[in-house]
Structure 1
Amino acid sequence: MSTYSIKDLEQLSGIKAHTLRIWEQRYNLLSPKRTETNIRYYDDNDLKLILNVALLNDNGYKISKIAKMAMDEMREEVVKLTERSLTHDDQIHALTICMIEMDEERFDKVLSTNILKIGFDQTMMNIIYPFMSKIGVLWQTGAINPAQEHFISNLVRQKLIVAIDGQVSKSNGKKFILFLPEGELHEISILFAAFLIKNQGHKVIYLGQNTPSDDLLAVYKLHRPEYIVTVITTSPSAEYVQEYIEALSERFSDTKIIVSGYQIVGQDLKLPNNVFAMHYIRQLKDYLREIELAPQEK
């Protein structure tokens, strides 16, 4: 079972730590535990409770009424709300609860409902990305265990693969090679990029995680794509990113290279002329709209 500080609860629920302390005292809403050194902490049950409370409170339920609800009653109300609500924050709360409970069926239902209502790409950009960004911070600080993070990532990955398979490339679409550098395993962003690219009718040659440089070169020589796309989250590390980008640029000098990821965004990098840094996923959508679908000469 994971443990959380009150700041963790604040970040996940959106309820200020000061408010949580007031609710503790006034309504006995939470029962924090203490370490041997007398430091307060909370567990998964506390997090689930606060996420439910936050969702109900945001939708007009008074805290005095919420505090009197049994957990089953509270959960039933939350399920009803998330099934009819279109608020992105409500859906992110619901997914966070699914993650804590490792509830695959409920997670799939929340995702599928949103995809039907607002479409796959809007669900990814407005719900999944903010949700994964939120839990990513807590995973890095140890507040969420690796099993929970892997559980969510694999479910999202499955959805992306199905969505990609449903897209059809056009005969005059441009060619894109998508890959992750050696040692890089964070695949969600590059998979979503593959979906967006295919959704615009372009052709995707997907190499995936941990691609050796020689393999990338071999595929490049075979397909001669107009574009190469990569996302650098952890590998190569910050001290080697500039060198890596320059090597890519030189090796594939006649191709446009799109780069993104934690080691790219906001970093003080000098990008070669054929390299474009993508700071937000929406930039890729805009970039793709600007590409004219012309007959290929290759």
Structure 2
Amino acid sequence: MYNIKSVAKMLDMPAVTIRAWERRYSVVLPTRSESGHRLYTEQDIEDLRWLKVQTEEKGVNISQAVKMLEKLREQRQVVPKPAADRSELRAGESFESIRERLHDAMISFDAERANQLLALAFSLFHFEDVFHEVLAPLLHRIGDEWEQGTVSVAQEHFASSMVTQKFYQFFNVFGVNRALPKVLAFCPEGEQHQIGLLLFTLFLRRHGVDVICLGTNTPADGLETLIEQHRVEWVSLSMTDEGLLPDVEALVRRLQAKFPTLQFVLGGQGFRDVSEDLRSFLLGGSLEEWNRWFAALQKRNEIG
């Protein structure tokens, strides 16, 4: 739970605006501490951030934005409608139980049922937990099954497409804190697995970082121009294929020489044997490590 001062700082918006939206439109309903101070949940902050994006960046007036938010909230509460599926909403629902049914729906090309299960997951759990505990393990499993020959290329592509679309829907929900450095995120040329990249990009977007996410198999040509034109300050690279390491190390060093102040963050098992001079850029795959890294980034940015 967060007090209004913390929320105002996180969202870079006046506390008076938060209180006004709360009073006039009931956009959030914070609880109160024993001393009477407002306390906001993670979901409250996400809703306020979404409204800020609509009003400040997309030119939507606040009353219309509130109506749009109400529709989004209704979608969060969607559960499977067919009678045969209602039994799926049961006591003790878990990440694993939803993940298993999503797996069956996706390899059966049943988009309607998969979307119903996704809506159920997001209505029951925090969105970051759904991505980390349901969707990421699901894609890893289907990828392994494809390599083993038990899942077809079409089935793997269908599942990957559905999950990737969900990531990009959430990328567009969060506003940007212009005080934070801009990040360029991609998988290097030859790298086809992007789940780690998508999870880290979601983490950054959730914290207000402006991210240019290029996805998988990104060629090196044109990166220098992009970095220069868009004033990129950090580059995030995700890689699982260790065979790509020599070329990627050469790319990082080339970018370092061209942009001496450019910072890097490297993630994925493909960097396991990275050269000693680049090891300081390594970042593990847990949310705890990401939170510590981001807290240090914020501190350095405030000092700067």
- Considering the TM-score relative to the shorter chain, is it more than 0.5? yes
**Contact 1:233 / 1:263 at 8 angstroms: preserved in 2?**
yes
**What are the ranges of 5 or more consecutive residues in structure 2 without an aligned counterpart?**
1-81
**Contact 1:181 / 1:230 at 8 angstroms: preserved in 2?**
yes
Residue number among 239, 264, 268 corresponding to 1:261 in the alignment:
268
Q: Find the counterpart in structure 2 of residue 241 from structure 1.
A: 245
Q: TM-score, with normalisation over the residues of structure 2?
A: 0.63
Q: Find the counterpart in structure 2 of residue 158 from structure 1.
A: 165
The question of 1:128 aligning with 2:132 is answered: no
**What are the ranges of 5 or more consecutive residues in structure 1 without an aligned counterpart?**
1-74
Percentage identity across aligned positions? Answer: 22
The question of 1:175 aligning with 2:179 is answered: no
1:164-208 Cα deviation digits (max 9, x unpaired)? 011111121221111221233333332332221111011112233
Secondary structure in structure 1 of the residue aligned to 2:281: strand
Residue number among 177, 193, 198 corresponding to 1:191 in the alignment:
198
In 2, distance between residues paired with 1:256 and 1:125? Answer: 26
1:94-149 Cα deviation digits (max 9, x unpaired)? 11111232211111111122122222211011111122222221111111111111
The structure number with the bigger radius of gyration is 1
Q: Could you say if the C-alpha distance between residues 129 and 207 of structure 1 is closer, same or farther in structure 2, counting changes exceeding 3 Å? A: closer
1:63-120 Cα deviation digits (max 9, x unpaired)? xxxxxxxxxxxx9777513555431111111111112322111111111221222222
Secondary structure in structure 2 of the residue aligned to 1:218: helix
**Contact 2:185 / 2:214 at 8 angstroms: preserved in 1?**
yes
Residue number among 291, 296, 300 corresponding to 1:290 in the alignment:
296
**Cα offset, 1:271, TM superposition:** 4.1
In 2, distance between residues paired with 1:218 and 1:99? Answer: 39
The question of 1:279 aligning with 2:284 is answered: yes
Residue number among 104, 113, 116 corresponding to 2:111 in the alignment:
104
Q: Where do residues 112-151 of structure 1 align in structure 2 (5 Å cutoff)?
A: 112-151=119-158
In 2, distance between residues paired with 1:215 and 1:274? Answer: 25
Q: Find the counterpart in structure 2 of residue 92 from structure 1.
A: 99
**Contact 2:107 / 2:156 at 8 angstroms: preserved in 1?**
no
Residue number among 194, 204, 217 corresponding to 2:224 in the alignment:
217
**Contact 1:257 / 1:276 at 8 angstroms: preserved in 2?**
yes
Q: Could you say if the C-alpha distance between residues 288 and 295 of structure 1 is closer, same or farther in structure 2, counting changes exceeding 3 Å? A: closer
In 2, distance between residues paired with 1:98 and 1:286? Answer: 37
Aligned amino acid, residue 163 of structure 1: F
In 2, distance between residues paired with 1:120 and 1:280? Answer: 18
Which structure has greater helix proportion?
2
In 1, distance between residues paired with 2:201 and 2:90? Answer: 29
**Cα offset, 1:250, TM superposition:** 4.2
Aligned amino acid, residue 272 of structure 1: D
**Cα offset, 1:247, TM superposition:** 3.4
Secondary structure in structure 1 of the residue aligned to 2:277: coil
